[in-house]
Structure 1
Amino acid sequence: MTRTVSTPAGAAMPVLGLGTWRLGEAANRRTAEVAAVRSAIGMGYRLIDTAEMYGDGGSEEVVGEAIAQAIRAGEVQRDELFIVSKVLPQNASRKGTAQACARSLARLGLDRIDLYLLHWQGPHPLRETCAALQALVAQGDIGQWGVSNFDIDDMAELNALGEGKGCAANQVYYSLGERGPEFGLLPWLRDHGQPLMAYSPIDRGALASDARLEALAARRGVTVAQLALGRLLAESGVVAIPKAVRERHLRENLAAAALVLTPEEIVEIDRLYPPPRRKTPLAMI
């Protein structure tokens, strides 16, 4: 059974999904990338994250083609999938948000994006962007909306807006190598019932070859990447969206959602990668 977390509106989001940053950037890789995303759907991925920024919309096209193929083949139904995309801050005016969403829907070949995020705070007033996002929910183009790369001060500013209370999630850079969100942001999100979506949860693959974690991973019979993902997912309210295209890595990452670490293992990992003791600036990639 797929592990999920709940958004404030009660929607169930899988705790482990597929990131697609850097997909759709080159035409000669398109066929292989579509095949990788379709393979991920076939092996059980139900949460897929993309953005209009990734490959200038190319990632959304890859995801959309893979979804269409999988649905036509009877491998999955649309309502089984939880699709996330993002609007660039420069596009996030009242009118621009609606236009960007329409473009994303067309590239994805969908009539609804399940969770639509403001990629980071930019030039347009938050109140204006929130109103645009709420309007998209009302007309059914998106299921819910949220934000990305928002630190605790940004979340407090957002929450102070009437429309801001509709925020469903915050996607930030969070990994064993970048545990800063645990100090203030993650507790704040928990208090408000909003999941934290962790992008680059394996530090863009760097943690997968971390020699310091190898002995513990070997004792448990898992890979280092699975161990790193398992530690993040031991935190309540956290969703991880590692990017992968190779079948082996896709299967390993997905299996990490079922990994339950013992308290002793968590202590050992935390000794190697200590939790933060003070507030640090939110990291971004």
Structure 2
Amino acid sequence: MIHSLTDTVKLNNGTDIPGLGLGVFQIPDADTSEVVKNAIVNGYRSIDTAAIYGNETGTGLGIKQGLEETGISRDELFVTSKVWNNHLSYDETIAAFHESLTRLSLDYLDLYLIHWPGNEAFEESWKALEDLYAEGKIKAIGVSNFQVHHLEKLFTFAKVVPAINQIELHPKLAQLELRAFCEEKGIHIQAWSPLMQGQLLTNKTILALAEAHKKSPAQIILRWAIQQDILLNVKSTHSDRMRSNADIFDFQLSQEEMEKLNALNENLRVGPDPDSFDFK
């Protein structure tokens, strides 16, 4: 379990990733540079974007500004992007990676993910990621939104075990079977939409725990994830919210409180279902 904003977790290939990062989903490209710069200034060392977000250029500019303002080096940051796997060929995936790298103005990525399983049309994309990884262009490779059967198919041809499976995960969608499978295979889980796009912030159970701990509902939810060794990407556009989201290391939820939050699970999604979402 991490104990500070800069604490890292070791992935299955030895790469270290910060346990809590900033996600930039749905932030306009023109605004992203300021958001990313502020995140780095506020101590965030993991930045998560994707080609489909349309803000890799702004993310790259924000990284450059954040490094300049803080004086830290590029290797102190962990930068993730994703290929929008709309049934891409091997060559298309290689090209998409280099386009992302150009937009980000970076020499390498720390993590590159296949964004969606896309009706299981990911074999060529994964082989491309493996080759980019072997060439040292990416420090770790992984997947996003893969369910157990997607991973089982991946294992029929993969030479490299994914380092991460980034999935929708929050108290209403605990994904217990998938998490157990990934743990068995040495794949770390990273949560997107850990606050259920804000829908959990008025939940009565969470509000009661927030009052008991003198914390915000968001801090309770994020602490619930941290105590289960779930890696996090949290979206925020304001510096005060960024600092608040990171202020989760000075308290602990009891086992009874964790069980109250676990009991909220309804297998309820706010994002698409990976088993039916496709975009060919």
TM-score by length of 1: 0.87
For 1:61 and 1:257, the matched residues in 2 are separated by 32
2:102 pairs, out of 91, 96, 106, with: 106
Deviation of 1:259 after TM superposition, in Å, equals 4.6
What does 1:124-163 correspond to in 2, within 5 Å?
125-163=121-159
For 1:282 and 1:22, the matched residues in 2 are separated by 15
Contact preservation (8 Å) 1:213, 1:269: yes
Deviation of 1:208 after TM superposition, in Å, equals 2.4
For 2:123 and 2:260, the matched residues in 1 are separated by 44
- Per-residue CA deviation, residues 16-69 of structure 1 (Å, 9 max, x unaligned), is 1111101235xxxx2x432222111111111111000002xxx21121011111
Give the partner amino acid of 2:184. Answer: D
Deviation of 1:282 after TM superposition, in Å, equals 8.1
Which position in structure 1 is the counterpart of 2:25?
Answer: 21
Deviation of 1:275 after TM superposition, in Å, equals 7.3
Cα distance change of structure 1 residues 91 and 254 upon mapping to structure 2, 3 Å threshold: farther
The answer to whether residue 185 in structure 2 is matched with residue 176 in structure 1 is no
The alignment partner of 2:211 has SS state of helix
Deviation of 1:4 after TM superposition, in Å, equals 2.6
For 2:189 and 2:249, the matched residues in 1 are separated by 15
Which position in structure 2 is the counterpart of 1:53?
Answer: 52
What does 1:243-282 correspond to in 2, within 5 Å?
243-256=235-248, 259-271=251-263, 273-274=264-265
For 2:17 and 2:89, the matched residues in 1 are separated by 27
For 1:228 and 1:60, the matched residues in 2 are separated by 28
TM-score by length of 2: 0.88
For 1:54 and 1:259, the matched residues in 2 are separated by 34
Give the partner amino acid of 1:159. Answer: F
Q: Report which stretch shifted further, 185-194 or 205-214.
A: 205-214
Cα distance change of structure 1 residues 224 and 283 upon mapping to structure 2, 3 Å threshold: farther
Which position in structure 1 is the counterpart of 2:38?
Answer: 39
Contact preservation (8 Å) 1:89, 1:124: no
Give the partner amino acid of 1:173. Answer: E
- Per-residue CA deviation, residues 157-178 of structure 1 (Å, 9 max, x unaligned), is 1122242x33111111111122
Deviation of 1:209 after TM superposition, in Å, equals 3.1
Deviation of 1:134 after TM superposition, in Å, equals 1.2
Deviation of 1:100 after TM superposition, in Å, equals 0.5
Give the partner amino acid of 1:178. Answer: L
Q: Which runs of 4+ in 1 moved over 6 A?
A: none
What does 1:171-210 correspond to in 2, within 5 Å?
171-179=166-174, 181-182=175-176, 184-210=177-203
Deviation of 1:239 after TM superposition, in Å, equals 0.7
Contact preservation (8 Å) 1:149, 1:282: no
For 1:224 and 1:118, the matched residues in 2 are separated by 31
RMSD: 2.2
Q: Which runs of 5+ in 1 are unaligned?
A: none
Cα distance change of structure 1 residues 107 and 193 upon mapping to structure 2, 3 Å threshold: same
- Per-residue CA deviation, residues 199-252 of structure 1 (Å, 9 max, x unaligned), is 00001122223343212111112110010111122213x111111101221111
Contact preservation (8 Å) 1:91, 1:97: no
Cα distance change of structure 1 residues 74 and 194 upon mapping to structure 2, 3 Å threshold: same
The share of aligned pairs that are identical, in percent, is 31
Which position in structure 2 is the counterpart of 1:213?
Answer: 206
Cα distance change of structure 1 residues 218 and 154 upon mapping to structure 2, 3 Å threshold: same
The answer to whether residue 2 in structure 2 is matched with residue 3 in structure 1 is no
The alignment partner of 2:223 has SS state of helix
How many positions carry a matched residue from both structures?
268
Which position in structure 2 is the counterpart of 1:235?
Answer: 228
For 1:106 and 1:257, the matched residues in 2 are separated by 36
Give the partner amino acid of 1:197. Answer: Q
Deviation of 1:99 after TM superposition, in Å, equals 0.5
The alignment partner of 1:76 has SS state of coil
The alignment partner of 1:188 has SS state of helix
Cα distance change of structure 1 residues 3 and 205 upon mapping to structure 2, 3 Å threshold: same
Contact preservation (8 Å) 2:85, 2:125: no
The answer to whether residue 137 in structure 2 is matched with residue 121 in structure 1 is no
Q: Report which stretch shifted further, 215-224 or 125-134.
A: 125-134
The alignment partner of 2:101 has SS state of helix
The alignment partner of 1:204 has SS state of helix
Contact preservation (8 Å) 2:79, 2:110: yes
More helix by share: 1
